[in-house]
Every structure is written in structure tokens, then in C-alpha cells.
Chains A and B, each alone.
Chain A
């Protein structure tokens, strides 16, 4: 039997600290979700465990963390389902040369630089239980991700959603998300197969068959949700329960196929009907508990695994600086140069690059996967968490510095996808 008193106390403390730090961050014009991420780290060995080890050991005894982990995974599955739900394939096409070039470059440039950095980090922060290929592919994936939900949140809070830059940034982030998760699914499959958990061909074949079945079979059946919604005028409890069941079922199948729970949840969300009202209702019903209660548990669990104290000595901080520099140069630099070459002005191009450099909680999700499957060490995990925080925290001040809101809003919107973007960006906003 779980120790319910300990679990409830943990949840209470996590929610309280997450709300307080989140609100403090909001006061300094940072997204609340970034504050919640920081709260998770403060509750871990980086602060609480370091300053008050007895309190930390009493509050988060190792034996009780399994329940916290399980709850955080449920939250993450629902969150990834919501992220998939908010993605609309229509946004991914017909957005002109700037979006195509920038989105592809914003994946490939950081991926390439992450892989090259792996040459330096592998002998220093990894070991021979992980092959260089898997390590490099993971580093590339982790460097190339953009936090679509946090980006949408920043743009909404600054009223930039309909600006040219905002539109482009959300489009590119959506492309990045889909591509990034596909690459990561491949990497996780390779790594798990190399550990001998499953056969590589069974994994890859199974994954391809599953995705094809979902795209061309299950997707059509899911139109029932939209029809039911239109008939009744609301999303019934039965429909909602069935939807959650499908997300959990899909997560379970991808886990059994050797990919990861989260890919199944994301895929199920991505193939759900995309009519605006349906998405709005479904998101509204699901996101409150997910975002307000379960996600902070994930942040806390990530924080308990993050130990800034591990990053000690000039050598470790040099690695951390190298990771941060490569992450920024690859994502911000790559996106900026691509947008500039596609015809944008320097200031606009730099703004787009800054927005694309937002990694936020999607980076945390990926890093936790990496730590779970053993491709990164605790030290590298902590370094990458620092990088995720730095790149996300830098977005708002850098954007205000390079291109004030007034100038961004004055840019003409050349891409006619406003309504779709408005719909998608009102979804999946972690913490309001």
C-alpha cells in the first residue's frame, strides 16, 4: 500500500511551491510554466536537498518516489495528448519559403552542432554502455527541439500571435515538434534495441505499421468524436473518458513497441479531429487538472533528478557553457540565418531565431526520456536542464531587446492562417 500521507504531503508542497514561484516569474514577465520548472529544481537536491537534507529526506524519501513518478507520467501522457491535439497539419504546409527554410534549418543546424559537440562530450560525460551513434543522435535531438506550448504562451502573453513573426514562429515550432518527435522516436527505438530489450526490426516495423494504421485507419474512426460533439453541442463525459482511454491505450502500445509511452499519446492527439470548437472543448475539459496539478508533479520529479551540485569544478562548468553556447548558436543562429537568407530583415530574423530557441518543458520531457533509457548520465542531464532553463528564460528579455513589441506588431501578416493559429495557440498553454 502506498504511504498516502507522504504522497499527499508531497503533492501539497509541490503545488504550493510551484504556484508561488510561478506567480513570481509572472511578475517579472516570464511564463509561469518556467517558474514551475524552476520550483521543481528548487525542491530537489539542488537546493532543498543541499540546504536542508533532513527535510528533503523526510519529504521525498526514495521509497515513496515511485508513486510520484507514476502520477507525473499520467500527467505527461495527457499533456502530450494535448500537444498533439493542438497541432493542425494545415499549419504545416503552404506557409511559404521562409517557413520551410527556417523550420528545416532550425532542426538541422542544432542537430548537426549537437552531434559534433557529442564528439567532445562522449569520452567525458558518457561511458561504453552507450554507443557514440546513439549518444550523438540523442544530443542532436535534444538540441533541436522547440517548446511549442511555451512559445505559444509567450506569444499570447505579449499579444504577438497575429504578428508576422509570431505566425512564423508557431508554424516553424509545429514543424519542429513533429520532426523532432519522429527523430527521437527513431533514436529511442535504436537505443532500446541496442540494449537488447526488443529486436530492432520488430520495433521499427511495428512502429511504422502502427503509425500507418493510426493515420489511415483509426483517424477516420475518430471523426465520430466530432460528429458526436456537433450533435450534442458539447463533449459528453462518455466521449471524454473514451478519448482519455484511447490516449492511454496508444501510449501503452508504443511503449510495448519499444518506442515510448509519450509518442503514442502525442500521435493519438495529432490524429484527433481538428475542428476548432471540438478542440477547444476537449482541451478545456482536459487541461485544467493536467496543467495545474499533474505537470508540476512532473517538474518536481525532474527537479528531484537534477542536481546542480553535480556540475562542479571548472571542467564541468566548461561543459555546461559549451552545451549552452552550442544550443543557442545552433537554434537561434540557424533560424536567424535561415530567415535572413529567405528575405527577412535582420531584426525580424533575429526575433524569429530567439523565439525558436525556446526549449522549455519539451526539453525536460526529452531529457527525462534520455535519463530513463540510460543514454545520458546524471551530470549531463543536469547540464542540459540548465541549458533548457537558460534558453527559455532568455527568450522574453532577448525578444524585448532585439525587437520591441510595438515593432513586431507593426509587421504585416503575410500568411493567412490567423484563425487556425488563434485556435491552436489557445490550446495547451501550460499554466495561465
Chain B
């Protein structure tokens, strides 16, 4: 009975412990999507005011919620437009609509962790896309 219990203990406690250690080692090679959740704003408000016209507020605030690669971006425009999308590697692509406008936004996550920026373009209601660079809002 004692031998059986020692075997059972090794199988049910010792082996899982080894698997945990192996998993932690194996997981070190995994890379999660770049973390971009939080509040972002445009680095050039003057250019933004021309681009957004009446569709978006100035100064612009992009509140990003992130769950892995899934993104949800809330704009501080009149309609509080929410656009959803995904990250594919460092590239993001989002789209959403409100009562007044259809908003599309695409771009890349640039820079290293802690010094990231979002470089891409945004378009309102099918208008011409205008380039923008977002930086972390203070």
C-alpha cells in the first residue's frame, strides 16, 4: 500500500510539478501581442483638427481596451464612437460606426515597450484617410 501511495504521489504531485517547470521554460519563447491598452492622443493636434473636422473632438482621445489581440477603441467624439478590431503581429486594423460616421483606423505599433506609438491613418465616413501618430496621453 505504501509503495502504491508513493507511486500515486509521484504521479499526481511530482509529475505535475515537473510539467509546470517544463511549461514555464517552454513558455519563455512565447510572445504576447504588444500591449497598447490605455489612453492615446495625437502628437500633432493642429494636423488632427484639419483631419477630423466636425467628426471628432479636439484634443482627440483614443481609449483602447485590449484583450490579447482583440481591440476596442473608444473615441471622444460627439457620438462616443466605439471601433473594434484586431492586432496581427504589430499591425492593427479597426472599424466601427456611430449615428453620424463610419470610422476606420489602421496602422502599426512602433517602438519598444514603454516608448510605443501608433502610426497609421484614420478616416471618417469614407473621407480621405489622414495620417496620424498616437502617443500615450499623459
**Interface residue ranges, A against B (CB under 8 Å):** 97, 101, 104-105, 108-109, 111-113, 115-116, 118-119, 122-130, 132-133, 135-137, 140, 310, 334, 337-338, 341-343, 377-380
Contact = CB atoms under 8 A, between A and B. Distances in A.
B67 interface: yes
Contacts of B17: 108, 112
Instruction: Please classify how large the interface on chain B is, using the bins under 10, 10 to 19, 20 to 34, 35 or more.
Output: 20 to 34
Nearest to A132: B27
Given A101-B9, A108-B17, A341-B5, A127 B27 contact: no
B5 A379 contact: no
Given A108-B13, A108-B17, A127-B34, A133 B28 contact: yes
A378 B68 CA distance: 10
Contacts of A118: 23, 27
B66 interface: yes
B37 A112 contact: no
B67 A378 contact: yes
Contact of B12 (A109, A125, A128): A109
B12 A127 contact: no
Contacts, number: 111
Nearest to B2: A97
A341 B12 contact: yes
Top 6 A-B pairs ranked by shortest CB distance? A379-B67, A112-B16, A129-B35, A132-B27, A105-B12, A127-B35
Given A108-B12, A126-B32, A127-B35, A133 B67 contact: no
B23 A115 contact: yes
Given A338-B12, A342-B5, A128 B32 contact: yes
A132 B28 CA distance: 6
Given A123-B68, A342-B5, A101 B35 contact: no
Given A108-B17, A127-B68, A337 B27 contact: no
Contacts of A109: 12, 16
A379 B68 contact: yes
Nearest to A334: B12
Contact of B20 (A115, A135, A342, A377): A115
A111 B16 contact: yes
Contact of B4 (A123, A124, A125, A341): A341
A128 B4 contact: no
Residue among B24, B66, B67 with most chain A CB within 10 A: B67
Nearest to A119: B27
A124 B88 CA distance: 11
Nearest to B21: A115
Contacts of A310: 67
A115 B9 CA distance: 20
B23 A136 contact: yes
B69 interface: yes
A396 to B, nearest CB: 26
A112 B19 CA distance: 7
Given A115-B24, A341-B4, A122 B19 contact: no
A105 B24 CA distance: 19
A217 to B, nearest CB: 32
A200 to B, nearest CB: 16
Q: Indicate the member of A111, A115, A126, A127 with the most B CB atoms within 10 Å.
A: A127
Contact of A104 (B4, B9, B34): B9
17 contacts: A111-B20, A112-B16, A112-B23, A118-B23, A122-B27, A122-B32, A123-B33, A124-B68, A126-B33, A127-B68, A128-B113, A132-B24, A132-B30, A133-B24, A136-B20, A137-B24, A334-B12
A184 B100 CA distance: 48
Nearest to A97: B5
Nearest to B33: A127
Contacts of A122: 27, 30, 32
A377 B66 contact: yes
A130 B31 CA distance: 10
Contacts of B23: 112, 115-116, 118-119, 136
Nearest to A377: B67
Given A132-B30, A341-B8, A377 B68 contact: yes
Contacts of A127: 32-37, 66, 68
Contact of A105 (B13, B28, B66, B68): B13
Interface string B60-79: 00000111111000000000
A112 B15 CA distance: 9
A119 B5 CA distance: 31
A383 to B, nearest CB: 10
B46 interface: no
Q: Which of B32, B33, B69 has the most CB of A within 10 A?
A: B32
